[in-house]
Structure 1
Amino acid sequence: MVSVAAVQNTSGKLPIVERLSELRAVAGLRGGRTELKSRYHTSPLKIAKTFPLNVGGNLQLAVVQMDGSPGLLEGDSYLFDWHVEEDSKLYVTNQAYTRVHPCEAGHSKIVQRLSLEKGAVLEWIPEPIMLFRDARFVSETVIELEERSVCVLSDIFCPGRLSRGEAFRFQTYDAKVSVKYKDELIHYQRQKWEPALLPIDSAGCFGSFTHMGALSVFSDLITPEVVTKVRERIEGLTGIPDGVSWGVARTAKYGLVVQVAGHAAWKLQRLLLKAWDSVRFELLAQPPLRLLKEAWMSSSNE
């Protein structure tokens, strides 16, 4: 969908046309199994494949969403809207990195709306996001929770194509996350990076690291004991990649965050994959969940 509005371009070139692409879906129970009850998407976004799963006796649906374009261009705006009905269990991922291309005056944007009814589980584990030279990127994530619902959200940030000398050559990264529980705002964060204005290598920013990531979990089922057990399970892991720093913390209410920093996206993915396993075990009493690409990534980097 192309917006009729245009962004004012002060460079004197043609106006920037805003292009909105949407992917909306509702997941719910049919016959005791989670299925997609409705779906709607516009190019270049689409649902590539669904996988009914039985993991440890737990019936769950896995969905792979796809972007058929080379990445986000200036003026592109993506909307992902997922609603998970009561007691449904859904895992969503995508097929490739989210690549953000250069912007002259405008920006690229992703809005994610994740709504969970009572007892619903949504595990949102996308591939990393990479900002090319001169990219301007805005991200807004809104999560709405009800009783006993669980939302797991993974996020890995790459500062550019390092092999091309693009480390921290993007213009702006502006990401907001808000979480509501029964209409009460229980968590809000905003991370904004502008390398031209910030001392990126300071201890309060990236320090010596180039990549950052987090596994965030929100639910009224999270207790201090769950957070402690997740931390202990990660501490007991073997084979954590070299050069990765990590920590586990509670949010102000109903949440925990596993934060990681390192020098390669695959290293952060590998550790966050294990952190996700720990959360599934301690919070959901479920074994690890794997599709082919996760299993390949884990084994190929042993």
Structure 2
Amino acid sequence: MRIDALPASAGLWQPQLDLCFSRGPSGATYLSRQRAGYPYHVGRLLAHGADARVIVQSSSGGLFEDDDVHQHVVATERARARVETAAATIVHSMTRGSAKSRVHIEAHAGAQLDWLPHPSILFPGTRLESSIDVVLHPGARIMLADCYTTHDPTGSETPFGALDAAISVRGAQGQLLALDRFRLDGASGRPLGGVSSRFAAHGGLMVLTLDAEEGAAAAHALEQATEDAVYAGAGLLPGQCGAFMRVLATDSLSLRKTLARAIDAVRGALCNG
């Protein structure tokens, strides 16, 4: 199987978004494969030194009932890339079904891949199933954000329906290194964090690396970045695969500020620039 081919174990077929980043002879990273079907649109590749940055847009206006979207992103050996979204993703109100979002991320030896989408906004009655499956090769580093917030455009504070979110991290041979999963029932009246009604935004940031020293440095940077947060925690992941931060915030703006501070802290600690 080619290094940039879709893995059969990923459970994906013809993902709507399929990106592969490779390092060219000059040392710069470029898009060696790009496929974007509805609802995704990929903006032009933005160069930052030898690194590549891509902003993904959605033409659908968000996720709707019965949507099932797949995204697949690979960074081959020594590629350095960052994938972002142009704006938050609205998950629209639903009457019976749910929406599914599946992401498969893989970084090969020496690669650095950042997956940093804006939060998903859960409207009243929303039922969202979100899964992010990561394959982490030795020598690779991945930073990924997974964030959610709630909003009722009518101002009635009607809760979202349900959120089932999971992130799995596996090694190159398929062994499970870490699994983060939570299920929240909005109809119960519990907030996104499940702790207090003050918190309407919930986010996590993973810094994935098989280098123990890098993982410790990342954990320390995340701890320092969340010292002023109202409700947050950070530490090492199991399986010696990096560090993790989880934040509860009163609103999306506060969450994004904390995440931005944490991302900058990690980049500084790991000399990413």
> Is 1:166 aligned to 2:154, yes or no?
no
2:210 is matched with: 220
Listed as ranges, the gaps of 5+ residues in structure 1 are: 1-19, 288-302
1:206 maps to which of 189, 192, 195 = 195
> Is 1:25 aligned to 2:19, yes or no?
yes
Task: Tell me by how many angstroms 1:176 deviates.
Answer: 1.2
Q: How does 1:74-85 map to 2 (within 5 A)?
A: 74-85=65-76
Q: Which amino acid aligns with 1:262?
A: A
Task: Tell me by how many angstroms 1:245 deviates.
Answer: 2.4
Deviating more after overlay: 250-259 vs 31-40: 250-259
Q: How does 1:233-248 map to 2 (within 5 A)?
A: 233-234=224-225, 244-248=230-234
- Could you tell me how far apart the structure 1 residues matched to 2:180 and 2:246 are? 14
Which protein shows a greater Rg?
1
1:101 maps to which of 92, 103, 125 = 92
Q: Is the 8 A contact 1:179 1:185 kept in 2?
A: yes
- Could you tell me how far apart the structure 1 residues matched to 2:185 and 2:223 are? 35
1:181 is matched with: 171
2:147 maps to which of 131, 144, 156 = 156
Query: Could you give the per-residue CA deviations for residues 99-158 of structure 1, whole angstroms, max 9, x where no partner exists?
Result: 111222211111000011111111111111101111111111100010111110112210
TM-score (norm 2): 0.86
Task: Tell me by how many angstroms 1:232 deviates.
Answer: 5.8
1:262 is matched with: 249
Identity between Structure 1 and Structure 2 (%): 23
Q: Which amino acid aligns with 2:207?
A: V
Deviating more after overlay: 90-99 vs 45-54: 45-54
Q: Is the 8 A contact 2:216 2:243 kept in 1?
A: no
Aligned-residue CA RMSD in angstroms? 2.2
Task: Tell me by how many angstroms 1:62 deviates.
Answer: 0.2
> Is 1:63 aligned to 2:50, yes or no?
no
Q: Is the 8 A contact 1:21 1:44 kept in 2?
A: no
TM-score (norm 1): 0.78
Task: Tell me by how many angstroms 1:94 deviates.
Answer: 0.6
1:250 is matched with: 236
Query: Could you give the per-residue CA deviations for residues 31-82 of structure 1, whole angstroms, max 9, x where no partner exists?
Result: 211000011121121212310112xxxx100000110111111111111101
Q: Counterpart of 1:164 in 2: which secondary structure? A: coil
- Could you tell me how far apart the structure 2 residues matched to 1:50 and 1:216 are? 24
Q: Is the 8 A contact 2:16 2:37 kept in 1?
A: yes
2:37 is matched with: 42
Q: Which amino acid aligns with 1:106?
A: G
Q: Is the 8 A contact 2:56 2:83 kept in 1?
A: yes
Q: Which amino acid aligns with 1:124?
A: W
- Could you tell me how far apart the structure 2 residues matched to 1:188 and 1:48 are? 32
1:72 is matched with: 63
Q: Counterpart of 1:38 in 2: which secondary structure? A: strand
Q: Is the 8 A contact 1:120 1:149 kept in 2?
A: yes
Q: Counterpart of 2:148 in 1: which secondary structure? A: strand
- Could you tell me how far apart the structure 2 residues matched to 1:235 and 1:79 are? 32
Task: Tell me by how many angstroms 1:234 deviates.
Answer: 2.1
Task: Tell me by how many angstroms 1:161 deviates.
Answer: 3.2
Q: Counterpart of 1:180 in 2: which secondary structure? A: strand
- Could you tell me how far apart the structure 2 residues matched to 1:218 and 1:79 are? 22
Over 3 Å counting, the alpha-carbon distance change for 1:227 and 1:91 in structure 2 is: closer
1:190 is matched with: 181
Over 3 Å counting, the alpha-carbon distance change for 1:146 and 1:105 in structure 2 is: same
